[in-house]
Structure 1
Amino acid sequence: MPSFKIKVKWGKELFQDVEVNTDEEPMVFKAQLFALTGVQPERQKIMLKGAILGDASWDKVKLRDNAMVLMMGTKDEDMPSMPVEKTKFVEDMDEHELNKALEMPAGLQNLGNTCYMNAVIQCLKTVPELRTSLSNYSGRVNLAQGSDAESITAALRDLYKTMDTGSTIPPIIMLQVLHNAFPLFAERGEQGGYKQQDANECWYQMLRMLQQKTEALSESSKGNAIEQFMGIECETEMKCAETDDEPAKKDVEKFLLFNCYIDKDVKYLHTGLKNRLLETGLEKHSDVLGRTAQYNKTLTITRLPGYLTITMMRFQFKAKEAVNAKILKDIKFPVMLDMFDMCAPDLQEKLKPMRTKFKDYEDWLVETVGKAKGKGESTKQEKLTQDLPLEECEDWSFPGDKGSNNSGYYCLQAVLTHKGRSSNSGHYVGWVRNKADTWLKCDDDEVSPVHEEDVLKLSGGGDWHTAYILLYAPRRLPKNRGGDESTASTTPAAAAEGGEKMETS
């Protein structure tokens, strides 16, 4: 492996023993220099003996150990301020300028089949408590081979901070630390470019890394922010289907993602989620029978997290073709989701008080807002409560378990879709809720507004974008309600038409 230790001179700074691997693209080296200097890769000019390093190859620059490389470039904060631009009216703007004027969030450049990672990053960015925990993290990025949880956590923290400036950026460092931690994601195809990867696997592995480094926020028995706000807990019972003489075995299992199992009878998300609660035909050794036997496993939810991640199990491995083939079936998913009937009886009892408050609020909206402003207005106003500041809403967690869900009710917050026929090909896109019925389609560096109705059409049934991962947030309940007109008056007036009712079994 052609690896060298070199010196890099940047202005008055001199960096010693910088490791460079010329088997990797120059952009990886530029990402290292970005971590050292804060100079964005596109602003770097790297020279050795008059030769300038390009982005695609090392052909013009021949390195050796202890070579002195000169880098020129300035950080964002060192750039001179630009002159004030002449006022431009909306009707004169192109699509890019319009999105910027509407304060569209930053997109992420595709670095070669990296849409799977970009979509995951955009969806996870919608969890404010994760952002808070990341901002409290003090670790640093290490681009050395084998770096994992610390580097991924620090890289995601830094990437979100840069994205908050609103500029589309290349997530080079994030990609590098992901490749270092999981070499599978760095696989290359016959043409030398990166292979497409499974977004669900990326989502899970990133959560697993963040689980090790993020700290829990206050009032929680959980050890980290991921378990606190995204951790599901279930009570399980394993029973042998071939004899009653063997007692059932009970256990507790924890998940970060809840699977929706799809079969010929599943048409709605709720049905697929209930399928997850019963697994039949499991094979294991029976001490009573002295042989391998069939077992059935049942699950009941004992803890609901504030943010529920659902994976649509759309891919099945076909050994003959060696691909994860896609199930294209149309599975409807709701904007508002109710998980009550999947919970254990003890948890259901704990959920009832907050559910009663929601029912009273819904009745008041129908009686007061509905009658005053017409049919459908109460549904609009109820949905707009998701946009209220947290201080104007009831706490959605149980006392002593901050990050849990105390009602069983959820609102759709983000959708990650896949377009194509296998998980390792095609294209991934993130769709995130903005305000009211307005969503944002985050297609790599292109971020554009869409209506909620367009998101609900991502349920499958063809070769169009199909929902693969759903992220639900806790449903919010206003503090001012039940005859207090201030609730309706403080919600935004510009509500979108329509609304999705809760799905029932």
Structure 2
Amino acid sequence: MPIFKVKVKWGKEVFNDVEANTDEEPILFKAQLFALTGVQNERQKVMLKGATLKDADWGNIKLKDGAVVLLMGSKEEDVPNEPKQKPIFVEDMNEDELASALDFPSGLTNLGNTCYMNATIQCLKTVPELCDALKEFKGEVSLTGSVLAGSVTAALRDLYSAMDRGNGSSIPPFILLQVLHAAFPRFAEKSSHGGFQQQDANECWTEILRMLQQKLQARSGTNQSRQYSSIIDQYFGGRFTCELKCTESEEPVTVSEENFLQLSCFISQEVKYMHSGLLSRLSEQITKQSPTLGRDAIYSKSSKINRLPAYLSIQFVRFFYKEKESINAKILKDIKFQLSLDVFDLCSPELQQKLIPMRSKFKEYEDRKIEEVKVVNKPGDSQIVKADVKTAPYWFEDDIGSNNSGYYQLQAVLTHKGRSSGSGHYVGWTRKPGTNQWLQLDDDKVTPISEEDVLKLSGGGDWHCAYVLLYGPRLLEIDEGTDKMDTTESWRELRYLQLRHKVEYSIGENLKVNHDNGDLGTRDCQNYENQEQESKQIVELILPNGGEDEEQLNKHGPKWKNTSHQGTIRYRATKTS
């Protein structure tokens, strides 16, 4: 009986002295291989010197003792089972399935020309502090009596709650619409066709905020420089410092403060960019009664922002009343806007000085990221793994809900498509938190879009035109692996930088600092490093506790003026012995 002892190789395993009887059918030899490896016969491929062994006969295969036989195949448990639920491709999904799979927010059903309300609701939902405040509101919806502000607030709370539970499905905002109609009857006006008439989305925006303003309490905090009655004032409200000067008489300049919940970008022939439209609003001429002249006179009004809110909404003033057609006609002009906004030059000198410390930290962060990119791009370097990231406070320590840098990031756009505010279509466009992914929220349809698509909403034709922009605070990331400061230390460092920059603000003028232990001296500094070192010494001298107590700075009487100087930096500094 021709029996041979062969060597069987199966993957990384080797089986020596396996008996093979060529007088028997090869199926019996394969049964031995199954016993050794667990690979079933139908999964086996047995080869010797390039020839494949069949089940019925040995064919041209010639065995001898010590021959190497190659076995290919896998055990049944190594083969993945067919999925119980077959995969569904994106192309085969309906809108609800797509929204749920991609974690889209819920859309809102159009109840008949209610796109103005839907777009407003979607944009405001991007403010997490507002959503948190609504969750804490305990009021209930009522369509009777004089508690309409509470009903609007409760209805919006319930709608947001339903949207959070909706898993991307469309939600009909019946209750909120009823409450708005009760609170603002003009929103319930019917058209000649019997349906609801289209309304101005920005009017809906401002009216909803005014309702919430009455019911949502402000967040409390220690050492607050000003108390707010509402979270709307706290997070959406800003203040102007306004100077009014008569151009026809020698009246003293009148200084006052004005509050705002929204900035206006006026569109004129010269305005091509949103920023220039905002600047034009800050310098204007008005006509009012002059107590000195006893008649109407022209006054020059100059405004600067002295308090920035965390969330800044900007309206493009695109609609004007056209008497001939008796409609609010639309200005279609292309007005460019940015995804990132810096409003430093819109602020008062006092606020600018408060913004500088946080802006310096942003600059340090950006410089550090540039260096990291350079390191990663070196040949042979591996990618740096980003540690857990936290963010620095975006508000001033004594003013919760403010913006402490002047930097903003666009997070929502409300657009209008059409030729008048009473017709056409409104759509919301929002950015997913923490990402650069944008979504188009066209009533119940939610579609992913790119940042480039958002920038195309600047106007110039019959396409969707930006009408209201909502900017949120730009957040400064802090790598926990490198920055171990707790919140108290972070505030202290920002406070210290703030006082240093107050001293550096004297560039171009003499800064006089009185101190009991030093004499006054004058020094010219030709470079910023010297000036920075001197200013640091001044603050450390006045504030030995590290810059926590501004009263000490005021006590020793530093005086500075906001004037510029070209070339040499001159100031007086205290000389220490």
Query: CA distance change for structure 1 residues 364 and 239 in 2, over 3 Å: closer, same or farther?
Result: same
Q: Could you tell me how far 1:100 is from its partner in structure 2?
A: 2.1
CA contact (8 A) 1:368 1:483 kept: no
Q: Could you tell me how far 1:371 is from its partner in structure 2?
A: 5.0
Alignment of 1:99-110 (within 5 A): 99-110=99-110
Q: Could you tell me how far 1:321 is from its partner in structure 2?
A: 1.7
CA contact (8 A) 2:235 2:309 kept: yes
Q: Residue 237 of structure 2 aligns with which residue?
A: 231
Q: Residue 24 of structure 2 aligns with which residue?
A: none
Identify which of 267, 271, 274 aligns with 2:272.
267
Residue 341, structure 1, aligned to residue 345, structure 2: yes
Provide the C-alpha distance between the structure 1 equivalents of 2:175 and 2:424, rounded to a whole number of angstroms. 24
Provide the C-alpha distance between the structure 1 equivalents of 2:478 and 2:401, rounded to a whole number of angstroms. 19
Q: How many residues get paired? A: 386
Provide the C-alpha distance between the structure 1 equivalents of 2:326 and 2:91, rounded to a whole number of angstroms. 51
Q: Could you tell me how far 1:146 is from its partner in structure 2?
A: 5.7
CA contact (8 A) 2:115 2:425 kept: yes
Alignment of 1:287-326 (within 5 A): 287-326=291-330
Alignment of 1:12-91 (within 5 A): 86-91=85-90
Provide the C-alpha distance between the structure 2 equivalents of 1:100 and 1:215, rounded to a whole number of angstroms. 34
Provide the C-alpha distance between the structure 2 equivalents of 1:373 and 1:109, rounded to a whole number of angstroms. 49
CA contact (8 A) 1:106 1:168 kept: yes
Query: CA distance change for structure 1 residues 373 and 93 in 2, over 3 Å: closer, same or farther?
Result: farther
Alignment of 1:92-131 (within 5 A): 93-96=92-95, 97-131=97-131
- One-letter code of the match for 1:232? G
TM-score for the superposition, normalised by structure 1: 0.73
The DSSP-based 3-state class of the residue aligned with 1:392 is strand
Per-residue CA deviations over 1:414-433 (Å, capped at 9, x if unaligned) read 00000011111100000000
Provide the C-alpha distance between the structure 2 equivalents of 1:371 and 1:149, rounded to a whole number of angstroms. 56
Q: Residue 82 of structure 1 aligns with which residue?
A: none
Provide the C-alpha distance between the structure 2 equivalents of 1:95 and 1:300, rounded to a whole number of angstroms. 51
Q: Residue 470 of structure 1 aligns with which residue?
A: 469
Structure 1 vs Structure 2: percent identity of aligned residues? 55
Provide the C-alpha distance between the structure 2 equivalents of 1:370 and 1:412, rounded to a whole number of angstroms. 28
Alignment of 1:113-262 (within 5 A): 113-144=113-144, 147-166=147-166, 167-219=169-221, 221-243=227-249, 245-262=250-267
Larger RCO of the pair (alpha carbons < 8 Å, separation 6+): 1
Q: Residue 421 of structure 2 aligns with which residue?
A: 423
Provide the C-alpha distance between the structure 1 equivalents of 2:412 and 2:320, rounded to a whole number of angstroms. 24
CA contact (8 A) 2:135 2:157 kept: yes
Q: Could you tell me how far 1:248 is from its partner in structure 2?
A: 1.9
Q: Residue 562 of structure 2 aligns with which residue?
A: none
Q: Could you tell me how far 1:199 is from its partner in structure 2?
A: 0.4
- One-letter code of the match for 2:475? R
CA contact (8 A) 1:361 1:482 kept: no
TM-score for the superposition, normalised by structure 2: 0.64
Identify which of 395, 398, 402 aligns with 2:396.
398
CA contact (8 A) 1:438 1:449 kept: yes
CA contact (8 A) 2:390 2:480 kept: no
CA contact (8 A) 1:442 1:448 kept: yes
Alignment of 1:485-504 (within 5 A): none
Provide the C-alpha distance between the structure 2 equivalents of 1:416 and 1:231, rounded to a whole number of angstroms. 19
Per-residue CA deviations over 1:282-339 (Å, capped at 9, x if unaligned) read 2211111111122221111010011100001111112222211111111111111001
Provide the C-alpha distance between the structure 1 equivalents of 2:164 and 2:138, rounded to a whole number of angstroms. 19
- Which range is displaced more, 361-370 or 328-337? 361-370
- One-letter code of the match for 2:283? L
Residue 354, structure 1, aligned to residue 353, structure 2: no
- One-letter code of the match for 1:437? N
Q: Could you tell me how far 1:228 is from its partner in structure 2?
A: 0.7
Q: Could you tell me how far 1:481 is from its partner in structure 2?
A: 8.1
The higher radius of gyration belongs to 2
Q: Could you tell me how far 1:93 is from its partner in structure 2?
A: 2.7
Q: Could you tell me how far 1:87 is from its partner in structure 2?
A: 4.9
Provide the C-alpha distance between the structure 1 equivalents of 2:200 and 2:114, rounded to a whole number of angstroms. 10
Structure 2: gaps spanning 5 or more residues:
1-83, 379-383, 484-577
Query: CA distance change for structure 1 residues 139 and 373 in 2, over 3 Å: closer, same or farther?
Result: farther
- One-letter code of the match for 1:301? I
Provide the C-alpha distance between the structure 2 equivalents of 1:217 and 1:476, rounded to a whole number of angstroms. 20
The DSSP-based 3-state class of the residue aligned with 1:116 is helix
Structure 1: gaps spanning 5 or more residues:
1-84, 375-380, 485-505
CA contact (8 A) 2:317 2:467 kept: yes
CA contact (8 A) 1:90 1:98 kept: no
